[in-house]
Amino acid sequence: MIKIEAVTLEEAYKDAAATLKCSVTEMAVEVVQAPSGGFLGLFKKPAIIVATIDKSKQVKNEVNTPKQVSPKKEKPVVREEEISPTFLNDTIMPTSFVSDQDEEELEEDLASGLDYTADYDDAYDEENIEKEVSVDIDAIAVEVQKEINDLFKLICFEIDTIEVSPYDNETLLVEFKGEDAALLIGKEGYRYKALSYMLFNWINTKYDVQLRLEIAEFLKNQEESVGRYLTSVCENIDRDGRAQTKILDGVLVQIALKELRERYPEKYVVIRSTRDGLKYILVNDYHTN
């Protein structure tokens, strides 16, 4: 028995038949999830099926097959490249923190000093040059609140009026509350990240301000989780003068970066990336000759 994930049911059936090396008619198939186009690309669902070979159909086909076939002139066989099916990954990762990095690699990073290029978001870089152009953040908040409520008024979820207010002079706080607000977070925060990306690109491009997105206290809870995790990291920094976090996902790495920079302004705090593109934070002393 295999589980197959594909964009459409037709593709899922083809992938299952190719994997089981049989025809579609010889399979017993259970549709676990029908595909869905979603809304604004946020809730798109793939087709998921569970398939196995139906031995009764296979035996019947073998019985009905003629034993002898008249020889025919052979035609050149064109080999088609087999498409590898996409299997559903059932592994559920921890909600807040994941770590796939080898301890040996972590030690190498700490021992390598500071001879590397920093890799972190400008949006959270406290060393950015402040813009001289003043922004009427209050007027922007009023306009964004009207437009964002117009955008989400036809959504199928039960949510309260979306509140938009200034968080600081360059940041808007957008809050989603209501009975179904938590559904906008999604498993492992995938919907939260998609919605945050969409809203940020709109607000930052049009109004040149930053975004702080809060959905059903998700961001608040993540900040508290990061704070608890960083307790042991800070102990290592205070004892050894340097430390490194585990792999942090999405918004978590930005939360941790902000907190560590505020706590250790004299330290070099930077986001690093592994060979697989996963991110973690390195804290060390500034290099002096």
* pLDDT tens digits for range 126-185: 444 444 445 799 999 999 999 999 999 888 889 999 999 999 999 999 999 999 999 999
What structural domains does the chain harbor? 2-64 (no CATH), 103-126+226-284 (3.30.1370.180), 137-218 (3.30.300.20)
Residue 122: band (very low, low, confident or very high) from pLDDT cuts 50, 70, 90: very low
- Residue that wins the pLDDT comparison between 150 and 15: 150
Residue 274: phi and psi, rounded to 5, are: -80, 175
> Can you tell me the mean pLDDT for 80-101?
38
Residues 86 and 96: their CA atoms lie apart, in Å, by 26
Q: How far is CA 29 from CA 24, 36, 66, 94, in A?
A: 9, 19, 27, 31
The pLDDT tens digits of the residues spanning 196-220 come to 999 999 999 999 999 999 999 999 9
Banded pLDDT at 113 (limits 50, 70, 90)? very low
E strand or H helix at 281, and its extent?
strand 279-284
Distance, CA of 136 to CA of 171 (rounded, Å) = 11
| DSSP code of residue 78 | P
Between CA 86 and CA 5 the distance in angstroms is 6
What confidence score (pLDDT) does residue 76 get? 55
Residue for token pair 């400008």: 122
d(CA 256, CA 259): 5
pLDDT number for residue 112: 47
CA distance 187 to 171: 27
